[in-house]
Chain A
């Protein structure tokens, strides 16, 4: 019998359906992945189980049963007794999920009291041991802020599994964590799941991560299931065009470099869905025909346990990434554009009396040639963002020397600032914070001209040029950032940096937090812009597959130090430093999409 079973489940916001007719079966001891990009409605399903739907959202049709009992119609008290005990949750943000004013021990104790455990202290220690936390007895006395994000997530996992639940709902449990920690948390979840035979509903945006732990996946698109099936066959032979496009949009960690498949536009919003009569994916689908517009396609079996909501699933395999452009050869390495030698950055923290110093960057030396794409990889706190800020001049170096385009820019000054403005620009991580919400897009992208006092007409012309360069409609110039999607905002962010044609661009995590299809659009855009504008790029990222796809050389940073540097291909193939090896081993293993068109 299924632990969790949904039939024709509809979740609506007013007249708009957020989840449309979801069927779902999760058997005991199995792991089901719910995969989708943001806006697909995957988190709504977790919230429906917890009955924590945001205001205005309600289940309007269908059934949802846990262990044969109707979750939607059972009395409130009965459901509350189930939650946390038989149905446990692992949240996305471990640091905000724990009470900051209570010790770990007190929070575990509270939870175990509710579960009715007799020897709570022993049980708490045992629970922490089960998630491989060192010295559990000491940990019980500590507060959440004294623990790292990964340790907090382990505590939460220990709590979730402490009651031997039948079902665990994990909503993006590793998004807030570094890659190496992500790998360990995934292992841990798999281990506990196998040990107790728990059923797990694993909600994620990352198909590869799902492949690591799930037995089956449901791929959601715009609130409806696009494809369902065993995870390996869904990844290897996607039957729905959307799944295939997603797989082809993901940069690979192995194999020859290839061009990413870029889906146009983005997933339709709630209102747009309501106006679509046929297949929801049809407006973006490369294979869409008139027949697709007629009505929503049913989820039909396509063999090997897979089912896809597509009227011509056999055609899906014909989608291939565009052919690679004529190889232009490696970009000619010109003279060094940027030379960083022996740079360190100290931050002073604390009060006058208890002053402590941290070295965010320690003795960093490297060079970037004109037109070269160099990546900086490392985990949070490794100093990679500080390094970027030192280069653009948002922070000043404590020790060392930075030479940019033939001029020493180490010490701040008016002439140095002017030189920097002419040569280096930065693209910020979070477009939400990087774009002034009160400015129009046209005014944002030409800010550099405003600084030099250019005429209105010149600015307008340049704005249209820049937007066209970014693949954005010129009509967007009159809009404000809040009217744009995440991907469009990030393009505006890039456009502003390119306005005065810098020779070096520093990009700090500019594709993290974006959906795979949008990420592919941006990476392709950067590669095209590189051909057209010949700028060099310092690409700060934690995503190794993106780095492999985009960059020529890589610097691996750890605790403020550059531990390894070299051409991407060499470093990834033969990592010399143990830390680089750990980093590479943390990338979820790939299931390679069967790429070539089968002979017919």
Chain B
């Protein structure tokens, strides 16, 4: 595990943990209820600028709701979607990838063509269509992301599985009497875990962006829930009068995605055998 102590991994992990902490302890950290409207104090600027109020550290939006509190509660949706959707996409993609890469033949052909067809849809359009069909709600956002992004896992992992499955130790496991199931679980899967971890982390960043996009166009989570994409959509209308209502959620998304990407990239650099050997 010592090799994981690189700058990228640590920076990424800190950012992700920061956002995760905000999401878990939103109730404790938030100075106000995110939905509390105070129509006497609309468009208050951040506390440090002229006319700011210390009770609203990042100012208020057009309905007088506290921006900081909304950001903290928005992290809940972002992180829930990021974690659940990524694991879901990984589960679906990985199972198909192991089947295709290990079994080969017509199974591989079938799964490979399915991925090809699936990937030829533009992902944003596909998710918008899915959301229109499924209706809004966090659960459906997660489902949409899983159904769109499993192909990422499947395609990358399949080629890795093919490489591993050709190794002699996999043949040796079969020869000493391992069943196919045991061979995959004990010999193939462990070799692909580093790649899987990396893909998973990168997918979390993507899921955050997708959730924000869907919420921005109003096809994301339930409107009663706070989501960063919604905040951006709201802030867009008053971008010249109250830019902080737009900038704050953008920065939140940026930091979260940067955190996942740094972590993923750091993991890839430290776990990918080819890259590690290349530096030696």
Known: A394-B175, A448-B176. A438 touches B190 (CB 8 A): yes
Does B171 touch A at the CB level, under 8 Å?
A: yes
With A428-B168, A433-B169, A434-B169 already in contact, the answer to whether A496 and B191 are too (CB < 8 A) is no
A421 touches B169 (CB 8 A): no
Cross-interface CB contact of A452 among B173, B177, B186, B187, cutoff 8 Å: B177
| Residues of chain B contacted by A152 (CB below 8 angstroms) | none
Q: Which of A442-461 contact B (CB under 8 A)?
A: 447-448, 450-452
Q: Mask for B170-199, Cβ within 8 A of A = 1, else 0?
A: 011111111100100011001100000000
CB of A425 within 8 A of CB of B168, answer: no
| A:340-363 near B, CB below 8 Å | none
Given that A421-B177, A448-B177, A451-B177 are known contacts, is A434 also in contact with B182, CB under 8 Å in the complex? no
A448–B173 Cα distance when bound, in Å, is 8
A447 touches B178 (CB 8 A): yes
CB distance from A222 to the nearest CB of B (A): 22
B175–A425 contact, CB under 8 A? yes
Q: Is B5 an interface residue (CB 8 A)?
A: no
- Please judge, given known A-B contacts A394-B175, A500-B176, whether A451 and B168 are in contact too, CB under 8 Å: no
Q: Which chain A positions have C-beta within 8 A of B167?
A: 433-434, 436
Which residues of A are found within 8 Å of B179, using beta-carbon distances? 451
Q: Are A425 and B176 in contact (CB under 8 A)?
A: yes
Chain B residues whose CB sits within 8 angstroms of the CB of A421 once the complex forms: 175-177
**Could you say which residues of chain B place their CB within 8 Å of the CB of A392?**
175
Q: Does A13 contact B (CB under 8 A)?
A: no
Residues of A within 8 A of B173 (CB): 436, 447
Task: Write the nearest CB–CB distance from B52 to chain A, whole angstroms.
Answer: 56
Chain B residues, CB < 8 A from A394 = 171, 174-175
Closest chain A residue to B164 by CB distance?
Answer: A436
Are A426 and B177 closer than 8 Å at their CB atoms?
Answer: no
CA distance A418 to B174 in the complex (A): 11
Is A430 in contact with chain B by the CB < 8 A criterion?
yes
Chain A residues, Cβ within 8 Å of B174? 394
Residues of A within 8 A of B191 (CB): 436-438
| Cα distance A298–B167 in the bound complex, in angstroms | 47
> Is A496 in contact with B176, judged by CB distance below 8 angstroms?
yes
Q: Which residues of B contact A499 (CB under 8 A)?
A: 176
Residue of A nearest to B172 (CB): A434
| The one of A418, A428, A437, A450 that contacts B172, using a Cβ cutoff of 8 Å | A428
Distance between A254 CB and nearest chain B CB, rounded to angstroms: 35
Are the CB atoms of B172 and A496 closer together than 8 Å?
Answer: yes
Are A447 and B176 in contact, with the CB atoms below 8 A? yes
The residue in chain B whose Cβ has the minimal distance to the Cβ of A447 is B176
Q: List A contacts of B190 (CB < 8 A).
A: 436, 438
Say how far A440's CB is from chain B's closest CB, in angstroms.
12
B280 to chain A, nearest CB (A): 9
Taking a contact as CB atoms under 8 Å apart, the answer to whether B171 and A428 are in contact is: yes
Bound: A426/B172 CA distance, A: 7
- Report the Cα distance A284→B232, complex, angstroms: 74
A421 to B178 alpha-carbon distance, docked (Å): 10
Measured between beta carbons, the chain B residues less than 8 angstroms from A554 are: none
Q: Is the CB of B169 within 8 A of A451?
A: no
User: How far is A448 from B182 in the complex, measured between Cα atoms in Å?
Assistant: 12
Q: Measured between alpha carbons, how far is A418 from B172 in the docked complex, in Å?
A: 15
Q: Is the CB of B187 within 8 A of A436?
A: yes
Q: Are A435 and B176 in contact (CB under 8 A)?
A: no
Residues in B neighbouring A417, C-beta threshold 8 A: 177
Taking a contact as CB atoms under 8 Å apart, the answer to whether A451 and B171 are in contact is: no
* Most chain A beta carbons < 10 A, residue from B172, B173, B178, B187: B172
Report the Cα distance A428→B175, complex, angstroms: 11
Q: Which of A430, A438, A451 contacts B182 (CB 8 A)?
A: A451
Q: Are A426 and B169 in contact (CB under 8 A)?
A: no
B172 A430 Cβ-Cβ under 8 A: no
Closest chain A residue to B182, Cβ basis:
A451
Say whether, besides A436-B187, A438-B190, A451 and B178 are in contact (CB < 8 Å). Answer: yes
On chain B, the residues within 8 Å of A418 by CB distance are 177
* Interchain CA distance A506-B161 in the complex, whole Å: 27
- In the bound complex, how far is the Cα of B172 from the Cα of A430, in angstroms? 12
Binary B-proximity of A464-501 (CB < 8 A = 1, otherwise 0):
00000000000000000000000000000000100110
Q: Given the complex of chains A and B, what is the CA–CA distance between A417 and B178 in angstroms? A: 11
User: How many Å lie between the Cα of A421 and that of B175 in the bound state?
Assistant: 6
Min Cβ gap A284→B in Å is: 28
A435 to B167, CA, bound (A): 9
Interface residues of B in 182-239 (CB under 8 A from A): 182, 186-187, 190-191
Interface residues of B (CB under 8 A from A): 167-169, 171-179, 182, 186-187, 190-191
17 contacts between A and B (CB under 8 A): A394-B175, A421-B176, A421-B177, A425-B175, A426-B171, A428-B171, A428-B172, A433-B169, A436-B191, A447-B172, A447-B173, A447-B178, A451-B177, A451-B179, A451-B182, A496-B176, A499-B176
List chain A positions with a Cβ less than 8 A from chain B: 392-394, 417-418, 421, 425-426, 428-430, 433-438, 447-448, 450-452, 496, 499-500
**Nearest 8 pairs of A and B residues by beta carbon:** A451-B177, A434-B168, A448-B176, A428-B168, A421-B177, A436-B169, A433-B168, A438-B190
